[in-house]
Amino acid sequence: MPLYEYEHPTTKEIYTDFRTMKDSDKPYISEDGIECKKIISIPVVVDKNKEPYQYDSDYWRKVRPKHVKLRNGKKVKYDPNTMF
């Protein structure tokens, strides 16, 4: 699921939320009940020397997949002790 950013109209605070693409245009409701609109994010620079699972190691440790896909398309068994 992609990560989207929403801006509070009065406090200008930025909220991030994992959502499906079809729900991305729905407004985010903040803790105070105000609707926050989606903002356009700046593109992320991708490091071609890293494998996809190395960008956010904390996320992969939480999810604990059985296998991960490498940049070359090869599927390998996930081992959090040796992969980071």
- When divided into structural domains, the chain yields a total of 2
pLDDT for position 79: 87
pLDDT for position 55: 78
pLDDT for position 58: 82
Using CB atoms within 10 A of its CB, is residue 48 exposed (0-12), middle (13-18) or buried (19+)?
Answer: exposed
Domain co-membership, 52 together with 71: yes
Per-residue pLDDT of the chain (84 residues; tens, 9 = 90+): 678 889 999 999 998 888 888 888 888 999 999 999 888 765 556 677 888 778 777 888 888 888 888 888 899 998 888 876
Domain co-membership, 83 together with 55: yes
Which residues span the domain enclosing 77? 44-84
pTM above 0.85, yes or no: no
Cα–Cα distance for residue pair 6/41, rounded to 1 Å? 10
Domain co-membership, 13 together with 48: no
Domain co-membership, 35 together with 50: no
pLDDT for position 41: 61
pLDDT for position 33: 93
| Measured distance between the N- and C-terminal CA atoms of the chain, rounded to whole angstroms | 22
